[in-house]
Structure 1
Amino acid sequence: MVSKKIRAYLALTRLDRPVGIFLLLWPTWWALWIAGQGQPDIALLIIFTLGVILMRSAGCAINDYADRDFDGHVTRTRNRPLATGIISPREALMVFAALVLAAFILVLFLNPLTIALSLVAVVLAASYPFGKRFHHLPQLQLGLAFGWAIPMAFAAQTETVPFIAWLLLAANLTWVLAYDTIYAIADRPDDLKIGVKSSAILFGRYDLLAVSLAYIATLGLLALTGWQLALNIGFYLILALAALIAIWIMLTAKTRTLSDCVLAFKRNIIFGGVVMIAFIIGFL
């Protein structure tokens, strides 16, 4: 019984599925690398890595709480611990609160600007799961929640949030819109039945075209970031490789089946990692 409960808590916080952790870590590490001009502060790297893991887990807990009446009707989510009753809504809220508190304790080691920005991060994490009830672009809310570590990283490293930070946040927003729309395509038949909204429903038969445009925007904004930073030619060569990976992802998702969409979503870990390599090489 104890081991079953532990597995349920791991499932609630998705610590048994680290894909989402990397999708948050990559843009956070991009920001720390840029803010540190290729030499990020090691202490900040540790604090932000731990903070991302905690806040991503907290976000998953509050997401499952918000979707507890929907998840049982969606093929991909019907076995989540709140949907099956293994974990109660009250327990999920307690997990969310504990993880947010732990993340906030980490932030207290940083400067006042970063602490102030962290309060926005909590609001974004807590409000995102409810967006699908009111509008068709909860993926953009997710992008803000996933990317808010970017301005926080610049604030922690430089005590300011320059234009380049917002440019990088914009690139992350379009990237999240791309990969989470692919994820939403997998859920679209069930979402239509239960009445929740998503970008996949909004874009309809033009869904993959919209995803393609979002990847193009991401790559363009990343290229503009490199130009603003005067990075070397190596950055653009590796970014071209990321473009090929984006094409690979799109080809994977073209069937629109649940398994292929989930696989395409997961391959974004590779995309983010290649962009990280591009920034590392760009500063050499």
Structure 2
Amino acid sequence: MDRPVASALPDAVRGHWADRLAPAGLRPYLRLARIERPIGWWLLLLPCWWSAALAALAAGRPWPDPLHGLLFLVGAIAMRGAGCTYNDIVDRDLDTRVERTRNRPLPSGQVSLKGALAFLVLQCLVGLGVLLQFNAFAIATGFASLGIVGLYPFMKRFFWMPQIVLGLAFAWGALMGWAAVFASLSLAAVALYLGSIAWVVGYDTIYALQDIEDDEVVGIKSSARFFGERVRLGVAACYVLTALFMAAAFILADAGPLAFVGLGLFAAHLAWQVARIDRQDGAGALRLFRSNRDAGLILFAALTLECLVRSL
């Protein structure tokens, strides 16, 4: 079995190609973009795909636009990497004081500040190239998210629920898929966006359990610290809102029974996560956090299947 190199970060995928096969000089930049932690771009991508599938359903199409799906994939990888790079630039001093983050490329000196800034620009240019492939309304919608993205790294310094701001940014794709199809937004897209925000707050609260002790020492605020001993109840509330808003989105988009079956399976997965939360188990929290990819793919598959069945 492959083992991660010594400089691999503790929450990286074991034996990832970025830590084994990439040229040595490139590896710190790949880590800066979190390439060896693909769950991040999956979680950014999934609301895009949900939205694209829901829009295809509302438009009477047999499946989500494959080109849009590919563009969202490339864009999610690029912009997640850019967001992480920007976050690490802003947090480079804080990261030296947290056990899980002190070996990141910037605080550990593997990448210089100038190198990180240049890499940030490069990733943003890739994201821009993807965004310009959509209609004018979708392009404007994409640009509208930049202010929220810019604010997020600063929120944990003074706001007890920075995960809400992360949700506003990470769930933006729930608007983009619809905008790419209709060149407009609707209540269905807004409801899907609100449900996606609640989902992000829930899963990132679970993720934040890994750092809760260090965050208390450093003074970083998080929803995990805010909920405290009631973190399971807090995550459950987020996930209930997720299911309710998504059900509203499906109703507004005139989704059929297969979509609602998928939503039921998605909700059951979220309930399973809540039941497994343990504030003292950081490794378990990471596994639960990563499992949201599978939950999201179940929902996307159900929406796509609904499109196909309805077109027959």
- Which TM-score applies when normalising by structure 1? 0.94
What amino acid maps onto 1:201 in structure 2? R
Corresponding residue for residue 161 of structure 1 = 185
Superposed CA RMSD in Å reads 1.7
Residue 6 in 1 paired to residue 26 in 2?
yes
Identity value in percent = 35
- Structure 2 spans left out of the alignment, 5+ residues: 1-21
What amino acid maps onto 2:131 in structure 1? V
Give 1:168 deviation, angstroms: 0.5
Q: Render the CA deviation track for 1:148-185: whole Å, top value 9, x for unaligned.
A: 12222222211101111110000100000000011112
Corresponding residue for residue 118 of structure 1 = 142
* In structure 1, distance between residues paired with 2:23 and 2:83: 23
Equivalent positions of 1:96-245 (< 5 A) are 96-245=120-269
Comparing 9-18 with 224-233, greater Cα deviation is found at 224-233
Is the 8 Å Cα contact of residues 54 and 102 (structure 1) preserved in structure 2?
yes
Give 1:147 deviation, angstroms: 1.5
Corresponding residue for residue 16 of structure 2 = none
Is the 8 Å Cα contact of residues 238 and 278 (structure 1) preserved in structure 2?
yes
Q: Render the CA deviation track for 1:72-115: whole Å, top value 9, x for unaligned.
A: 22222222111211012222222112111221122222222222
Corresponding residue for residue 304 of structure 2 = 280
Comparing 86-95 with 175-184, greater Cα deviation is found at 86-95
* In structure 1, distance between residues paired with 2:68 and 2:218: 43
SS of equivalent residue, structure 2 residue 272: helix
Is the 8 Å Cα contact of residues 64 and 304 (structure 2) preserved in structure 1?
no
Comparing 215-224 with 243-252, greater Cα deviation is found at 243-252
* In structure 2, distance between residues paired with 1:266 and 1:216: 19
Is the 8 Å Cα contact of residues 67 and 129 (structure 1) preserved in structure 2?
yes
* In structure 2, distance between residues paired with 1:110 and 1:136: 36
* In structure 2, distance between residues paired with 1:240 and 1:120: 32
The correspondence for 1:17, drawn from 9, 15, 37, is: 37
* In structure 2, distance between residues paired with 1:116 and 1:230: 27
Number of matched pairs: 283
* In structure 2, distance between residues paired with 1:155 and 1:143: 19
Equivalent positions of 1:25-40 (< 5 A) are 25-37=45-57, 38=61, 39-40=63-64
Is the 8 Å Cα contact of residues 48 and 175 (structure 2) preserved in structure 1?
no
Comparing 117-126 with 176-185, greater Cα deviation is found at 117-126
Residue 267 in 1 paired to residue 291 in 2?
yes
Comparing 273-282 with 78-87, greater Cα deviation is found at 273-282
SS of equivalent residue, structure 2 residue 25: helix
Comparing 99-108 with 33-42, greater Cα deviation is found at 33-42
Residue 83 in 1 paired to residue 107 in 2?
yes
Give 1:54 deviation, angstroms: 0.7
What amino acid maps onto 2:83 in structure 1? G
What amino acid maps onto 2:176 in structure 1? M
Is the 8 Å Cα contact of residues 5 and 86 (structure 1) preserved in structure 2?
no
* In structure 1, distance between residues paired with 2:187 and 2:270: 26
Is the 8 Å Cα contact of residues 252 and 263 (structure 1) preserved in structure 2?
no
What amino acid maps onto 1:35 in structure 2? A
Corresponding residue for residue 65 of structure 1 = 89
* In structure 1, distance between residues paired with 2:267 and 2:177: 26
* In structure 2, distance between residues paired with 1:274 and 1:111: 28
Give 1:255 deviation, angstroms: 4.6
Residues 256 and 239 of structure 1, relative CA distance in 2, 3 Å threshold = farther
